Structure 1
Amino acid sequence: MKITLDIPDRLAESHTFSQVDWLQEVAVALFQQELVTLGTASQLAGMNQMAFQELLYDRGISLHYDLADYQADIASLRDNNWR
């Protein structure tokens, strides 16, 4: 997937908002809209999943982890002989 953004010149030329900042903002927005998974969003942001989760927590954004996700994780662990 490739994402192209049209960024106003005044923002794009700002020295206080880096490319890393832009990537994090895009990743947060896509995750918050449930368009990408946590793993994909963290990769887009250039962060490991724990660091990305901390970023989401700091912004008060839910991880979208419900009972069905929990049950799928348990089933996956059992299928892979995790005990």
Structure 2
Amino acid sequence: MGKKIVVELPEMLKLPEDEVEERVKVELAIRLYERGILSFGQARRLAGLNKWEFIELLVREGSGIPYDEEELESDLEVLGELS
């Protein structure tokens, strides 16, 4: 497994204590994905979400849906096979 990082967060966080870790992981995953530091798969795993949950989260956050040229080519191949 990965490295464990311990961070002290200010008391002013307006989150229930039992939600802090999950929320920080989700926020970090989104921002690192947006900046290209984490891949889509890495970010969704950090957030603890499956592919579709992470896509929904990105849409809600205004980050858009990830779809690259490789995925397009794969989809076109599948469509060609179905025709």
Bucket of the pairwise TM-score, normalised by the shorter protein: 0.5 to 0.7
The one of 17, 22, 25 aligned to 2:24: 22
State the percentage of identical aligned residues.
Answer: 22
Amino acid of the residue matched to residue 20 of structure 1?
E
Q: Helix, strand or coil for the counterpart of 2:11?
A: helix
Counting only pairs closer than 5 Å after superposition, residues 72-83 of structure 1 correspond to structure 2 as 73-74=74-75, 83=81
Shift of 1:40: 1.0
CA contact (8 A) 2:40 2:66 kept: no
State how far apart, in whole Å, the 1-side matches of 2:4 and 2:58 are. Answer: 21
The one of 37, 40, 44 aligned to 1:38: 40
Give me the TM-score of the superposition, normalised by structure 1: 0.67
Q: For the aligned residues, what is the CA RMSD?
A: 3.0
For structure 1, the 5+ residue unaligned runs are none
Query: What's the counterpart of residue 52 of structure 1?
Result: 54
For structure 2, the 5+ residue unaligned runs are none
The number of residue pairs the alignment matches comes to 77
State how far apart, in whole Å, the 1-side matches of 2:20 and 2:61 are. Answer: 19
Counting only pairs closer than 5 Å after superposition, residues 59-74 of structure 1 correspond to structure 2 as 59-67=61-69, 69-71=71-73, 73-74=74-75
Give me the TM-score of the superposition, normalised by structure 2: 0.67
